[in-house]
Amino acid sequence: MNSTILKTAANYLLPILLLFSIFLLLRGHYHPGGGFVGGLIASIAFVLHSFTHGTEATLRLLRIHPGVLIPAGLGLSALSMFAPMISGKPVMTGLWIEEPLPVIGIIGSALFFDLGVYLVVVGVVLTILFTISQYSE
Amino acid sequence: MLAAVLSGLVVSVLYIPFGKYLRGRLAVVAAGLPIVLFGYFARFIPSVAAGSTIAFHVPWVPSLGINLDFRLDGLSLLFSLLITGIGSLVYIYAFSYLKGHRYLDRFYAYLSLFMAAMLGLVLADNVLLLFIFWELTSISSFFLIGFNNESAASRKSSLIALGVTGGGGFLLMAGLVWMGYAADTYSIREMMAVSPALKDDTYYGFIVALILAGAFTKSAQFPFHFWLPGAMKAPTPVSAYLHSATMVKAGIYLLARLTPVLGGTDVWMYTLMAVGGVTMLYSAFHSLFRTDLKAILAYSTIAALGMLVFLIGIGTPEAFLAAVVFILVHALYKASLFLTTGVIDHETGTRDVTALSGLRTVLVPLAVAGLLAALSSAGIPFTFGFIGKDLIYEATLHMPGLLSVVLTALAVSTNVLVLYAGFVAGIKPFAGPLPQPFRHVHLPSALLWAPPLLLALLGLLFGCLPSLVDDALLNPAVRAMAHAVSGTPLKIWHGFNLVLLLSGVTIAAGGILFWARKPSSQSESWISRFDSAAPRHVMARAAYYARMVARRYTHTLHNGFLRVYLLRIIAFAVLLLAFRLFSGGPVRFTLDHVSPVTAYEIAVAAILIAAIFLAVTTSSRLTAVVATSVIGYCICLQFVFYSAPNLAMTQFSIDTLTVVLFVLVLFRLPPFLNFPNRGARIRDWTVALAFGAVIALIAIQVLNQPFDGTVSRFYGDNAYTLAKGKNVVNVILVDFRGFDTMFEIVVLSIAAIGVFSLLKLRLTASEKE
């Protein structure tokens, strides 16, 4: 697509949408949002970029292949699932820190689980879309 | 004992990384395994002979009744010693026979796997465990029979063997599970205790039929015998191992093992006697018409197996003793004959018995082995075979009335023919003048001639001194099958009686047959005229038609058009749902609980209907996609109105991405098809409208059900206290139902991997072109 306006807009929209997706991820526990929708928004940010600049440019921007995010996310989620077992608690017990952190607030193992979901969603969507778009070209 | 059984499995796995170092001279170390195992089992001879059994128990899946229960009694010990003993000789022999073969390591891996499976089978006390090993023998023998995988005939015969034994295994599994269910235990030992109840079970007949089907296919009983001659495509050491002591004896073992559980009834006895009798006579007769040495041995093996089934069917302690003795006799002489044949084939390049003669001058030790084995198979006095044959005649003669005459006649005529087969295989190639082409033949390495000679000499030794194995091996084995043992020790000489007379008649008739009849290719082609009626061809035709039906069926239901699949799935769902919906009488609903309709909703519904109309009438694919996403957005708006922000947000993103995905693949699709066929359009309309109507009815019906808020109340009450979250939807996703989410992201990942690998594979393939 050779629209200069869209191209310029995409350059600005990418960081904004990514920030928004992280915002959705972090607020998920108290307000509408969460890892799944956050991941989808982040994917849309990259897809928009790839529409205006081409898939190759987006892949260069990402530096790593989005497929790498899938095992990373799965690993993170699994880790947060099994982490309570170290202290002898059942799998998936929620672990929380005592004192809230500045800005982010109180965090627990559920956040890391959600972060894993976020990464998997981004990885899956981008892998599927980029593979198909490269195949189509 | 677990280690003994599993060692073969472990060794065969170790061949994968280390096999390449064990192809050359080092390959002979493989023989260490069976030799060590033979020593291990030999240690148990005194204690088992004294009457004790060695049991071993490890819980595996106790909830299903599957445990690693192993039990070593007389019968298991006899088979274990045969498996490891003959196994040792076969390992050594194969090292020389397959010297320099590029897959020698693979061969030993399969052989070790097979040996482990056989050991597990004869030692298992749990029927399900037994079945697992039973299947393992089928699978590993498939690899062994098809070892020469460059030959199409070899591949085909291994497939037939797998098909027949695997099919039988399937029936056997049903029988064993059924029996376990009826007996309320899977342990054979415990089944023996409830044997009378089992025999009175309503389904006893079915259980027996299924189990016998398994045993008969494995032990190549008529009409399933045809896989065995085909399996002769295997390298000769494999044939020697599979058909003398192991694979085909598995069925015999099963029958012997289950005799105290299921045996003793008329059904059991007469079936076994009839099938065994038909098999032994049919195949012994067939061996008359073969000219290939291995084919002759194959048919005489089937005859021997028939004889064993027949003896187990007779069911007297005498018959059991005869069967046990005959198992040992047959293993010794048949392995010896097979191994001798292997050397002849190896050195002269032919197995055609009409071409072979006079080899005694060049292959002296093998001539001795062949002669001794042939004499043992013929039952000449002072060989072990003589004792075996006497016991068989005694067992048949002691049956009541007319039955004794019929059974004895059957046994005598089979033995005459088996004697002929043994002489043709063991004596004929060595007798007479040495033809010119074989003058260059020279004696191969001792690794090739010592094993058959050793086995043949053992046959002679046990024949002269039966007390060596009588109390040590044979009687404990009989005790495992029958509670009473005949007690009389094995004797070489029974005095002048009817048995001796029958023995003499057998030897004389067989001798005359051997002298008078020369195997020829004419008679072989004469018998092949009946091939089309042979069970092999009947079954091959049945398999062909089964394949045709499967192909038609697959072609109809699974034709590769996504639209057809969708249509069928939806039509089926409509029928199922409509049936469920209307089966409880007419559908009634009220609109009392429905909240009042607002202006926003009417507006959104209008857009939605317009979008649907556009989507189904447009002739542009892009328009259709955009219209579909408008439908999606309208639904999202409904979620917003009903305060489901999480759902709405996710649905918005998904709809956006779906449009992107569609756009990406759109121009790879074929041009838009405007169905000219009115019939197809009407059909699609009908299915679509019916589906919509049924779903709408169900949705309204759901509204009329009283709402049970227990679950949502629980989540609402506990989200903050238990999971420190205020967004209940998210708390459910990441905490309460975190496992579901975990599996969902795993599924997502699999989908991504699928898309990626499918398309990338296509890419590389097209790049090659």
Task: Write out B624-674 in H/E/C secondary structure.
Answer: HHHHHHHHHHHHHHHHHHCCCHHHHHHHHHHHHHHHHHHHHHHCCCCCCCC
Q: What angle do CA B625, B627, B633 make, to 5 degrees?
A: 105
Mean pLDDT of A64-69: 90
Measured CA to CA, the distance from residue B199 to residue B267 in angstroms comes to 10
Whether residue B683 is predicted with pLDDT greater than 80 in this model: the reply is: yes
**B663 chain-A contacts, CB cut-off 8 A:** none
Q: What is the pLDDT of residue B348?
A: 84
Q: What is the pLDDT of residue A104?
A: 64
Which amino acid is it at B117? Answer: A
CB pairs under 8 A between A and B: 138
Whether residue B291 is predicted with pLDDT greater than 90 in this model: the reply is: no
**B718 chain-A contacts, CB cut-off 8 A:** none
Q: What is the pLDDT of residue B762?
A: 63
Any chain A CB within 8 A of the CB of B669? no
Whether residue B146 is predicted with pLDDT greater than 80 in this model: the reply is: yes
* Interchain CB distance below 8 Å, B731 and A29: yes
Query: How high is the ipTM of this complex?
Result: 0.89
Which of A35, A36, A96 comes nearest B724 by C-beta?
A: A96
Nearest to B516 by CA among B433, B429, B424, B434: B424
Chain A: give the shortest CA distance to residue B100, in Å. Answer: 46
Structure tokens that stand for B2 in this block: 């677990």
> With bands split at pLDDT 50, 70 and 90, how would you rate the model's confidence at B701?
confident
E strand or H helix at B524: helix B521-527
List the single range of B131-135, B316-320, B713-717 with lowest mean pLDDT. B713-717
Mean pLDDT of A20-41: 86
Chain A: give the shortest CA distance to residue B531, in Å. Answer: 56
> With bands split at pLDDT 50, 70 and 90, how would you rate the model's confidence at B409?
confident
Q: What is the pLDDT of residue A105?
A: 66
Chain A: give the shortest CA distance to residue B342, in Å. Answer: 55
Nearest to B124 by CA among B34, B63, B191: B191
Mean pLDDT of B398-412: 84
Q: Give the residue from chain B lying closest to A113, CA to CA.
A: B734
> With bands split at pLDDT 50, 70 and 90, how would you rate the model's confidence at B560?
confident
Which of A31, A121, A136 comes nearest B665 by C-beta?
A: A136
Q: What is the pLDDT of residue B465?
A: 82
pLDDT tens digits, B70-124: 888 888 999 999 999 999 999 888 888 888 788 888 888 899 999 999 999 999 9
* Interchain CB distance below 8 Å, B727 and A32: yes
Chain A: give the shortest CA distance to residue B699, in Å. Answer: 26
**A37 chain-B contacts, CB cut-off 8 A:** 646, 649-650, 653
* Interchain CB distance below 8 Å, A36 and B756: no
Mean pLDDT of A58-85: 88
> With bands split at pLDDT 50, 70 and 90, how would you rate the model's confidence at B769?
very low
Whether residue B486 is predicted with pLDDT greater than 70 in this model: the reply is: no
**A30 chain-B contacts, CB cut-off 8 A:** 725-727
E strand or H helix at B68: strand B66-72
**A35 chain-B contacts, CB cut-off 8 A:** 733-734
> With bands split at pLDDT 50, 70 and 90, how would you rate the model's confidence at B213?
very high
Domain ranges of chain B: 264-519, 595-674, 726-769
What contacts B663, CB < 8 A, 6 or more positions away? B622, B625
Residue-range definition of the domain harbouring residue A83: 4-136
Which amino acid is it at B642? Answer: Y
Long-range contacts of B489-497 (CB under 8 A, 24+ apart): B490/B325, B490/B387, B490/B391, B490/B466, B491/B387, B491/B466, B492/B381, B492/B382, B492/B386, B492/B387, B492/B463, B492/B464, B492/B466, B494/B390
Domains identified in chain A, total number: 1
Q: What is the pLDDT of residue B79?
A: 92
Q: Give the residue from chain B lying closest to A32, CA to CA.
A: B646
Q: Does the predicted TM-score (pTM) go above 0.80?
A: no
Whether residue B730 is predicted with pLDDT greater than 90 in this model: the reply is: no
Residues 174-193 of B with CB under 8 A from A: none
Structure tokens that stand for A64 in this block: 């790593």
Measured CA to CA, the distance from residue B338 to residue B98 in angstroms comes to 15
In terms of Cβ atoms closer than 10 Å to its own Cβ (0-12, 13-18, 19+), residue B550 is exposed
Q: Decide if B88 contacts B35 (C-beta within 8 A).
A: yes
| Cα dist from B577 to B557, B572, B694, B695, whole Å | 21, 9, 7, 8
* Interchain CB distance below 8 Å, A29 and B726: yes
Chain A: give the shortest CA distance to residue B720, in Å. Answer: 9
Measured CA to CA, the distance from residue B267 to residue B269 in angstroms comes to 6
E strand or H helix at B61: strand B54-61
Q: Give the residue from chain A lying closest to B732, CA to CA.
A: A29
Nearest to B492 by CA among B503, B508, B482, B477: B503
Whether residue A1 is predicted with pLDDT greater than 60 in this model: the reply is: no
Whether residue B561 is predicted with pLDDT greater than 90 in this model: the reply is: no
Q: Give the residue from chain B lying closest to A124, CA to CA.
A: B752
Q: What is the pLDDT of residue B101?
A: 80
Measured CA to CA, the distance from residue B180 to residue B191 in angstroms comes to 8
Chain A: give the shortest CA distance to residue B151, in Å. Answer: 41
Query: Which DSSP category does B60 fall into?
Result: E
**B720 chain-A contacts, CB cut-off 8 A:** none
**B743 chain-A contacts, CB cut-off 8 A:** none
Residues 86-115 of A with CB under 8 A from B: 92, 94, 96, 106, 108, 110, 113-114
* Interchain CB distance below 8 Å, B738 and A30: no
Whether residue B765 is predicted with pLDDT greater than 60 in this model: the reply is: no
pLDDT above 70 coverage of chain B, percent: 95
Any chain A CB within 8 A of the CB of B83? no
Q: Give which of B663, B668, B734, B748 to mutate to test A binding, by max A Cβ within 10 Å.
A: B734
Enumerate the H helices of chain A as residue ranges: 4-27, 35-53, 55-62, 69-82, 109-136
Any chain B CB within 8 A of the CB of A38? no
**A134 chain-B contacts, CB cut-off 8 A:** 759, 763
Terminal-residue alpha carbon distance, chain A: 14
pLDDT above 90 coverage of chain B, percent: 18
* Interchain CB distance below 8 Å, A40 and B759: no
List the single range of B372-376, B491-495, B740-744 with lowest mean pLDDT. B491-495
Whether residue B170 is predicted with pLDDT greater than 90 in this model: the reply is: yes
Compute the half-sphere exposure of residue B397: CA atoms within 13 Å on the CB side of its CA: 14
The SS3 assignment for A95 reads: coil
* Interchain CB distance below 8 Å, B722 and A28: no
* Interchain CB distance below 8 Å, A131 and B748: no
Q: Compute the CA torsion angle B248, B250, B256, B262 (nearest 10 deg).
A: -110
Q: What is the pLDDT of residue B763?
A: 57
What contacts B543, CB < 8 A, 6 or more positions away? B163
Q: Decide if B245 contacts B331 (C-beta within 8 A).
A: yes
Compute the half-sphere exposure of residue B489: CA atoms within 13 Å on the CB side of its CA: 11
Average pLDDT, chain B: 84
| Cα dist from B730 to A77, B132, B713, B719, B741, whole Å | 15, 46, 15, 9, 11
Query: Which DSSP category does A33 fall into?
Result: -
Q: Give the residue from chain A lying closest to B766, CA to CA.
A: A135
Q: Give the residue from chain B lying closest to A77, CA to CA.
A: B742
Beta bridge partners of B58: B68
Structure tokens that stand for A11 in this block: 């350059």
Any chain B CB within 8 A of the CB of A40? yes
Q: Compute the CA torsion angle B644, B645, B648, B650 (nearest 10 deg).
A: -120
Q: Decide if B115 contacts B517 (C-beta within 8 A).
A: no
**B651 chain-A contacts, CB cut-off 8 A:** none
Terminal-residue alpha carbon distance, chain B: 57
Q: Give the residue from chain B lying closest to A82, CA to CA.
A: B739
Q: Decide if B427 contacts B373 (C-beta within 8 A).
A: no
Q: What is the pLDDT of residue A88?
A: 76
Q: Decide if B751 contacts A124 (C-beta within 8 A).
A: yes
pLDDT tens digits, B636-650: 998 888 888 888 888
**B728 chain-A contacts, CB cut-off 8 A:** none
Measured CA to CA, the distance from residue B732 to residue B726 in angstroms comes to 11
Residues 49-78 of A with CB under 8 A from B: 51, 67, 70-71, 73-74, 77-78
Nearest to B714 by CA among B731, B693, B738, B696: B731
**B760 chain-A contacts, CB cut-off 8 A:** 131
Q: Give the residue from chain B lying closest to A25, CA to CA.
A: B730
Q: What is the pLDDT of residue B116?
A: 92
Q: Give the residue from chain B lying closest to A107, CA to CA.
A: B724
Q: Which residue has the tokens 């306006």?
A: A5
In terms of Cβ atoms closer than 10 Å to its own Cβ (0-12, 13-18, 19+), residue B671 is exposed
Measured CA to CA, the distance from residue B743 to residue B366 in angstroms comes to 65
pLDDT tens digits, B610-625: 999 998 888 788 888 8
Chain A: give the shortest CA distance to residue B635, in Å. Answer: 17
Query: Which DSSP category does A63 fall into?
Result: -
* Interchain CB distance below 8 Å, A128 and B722: no
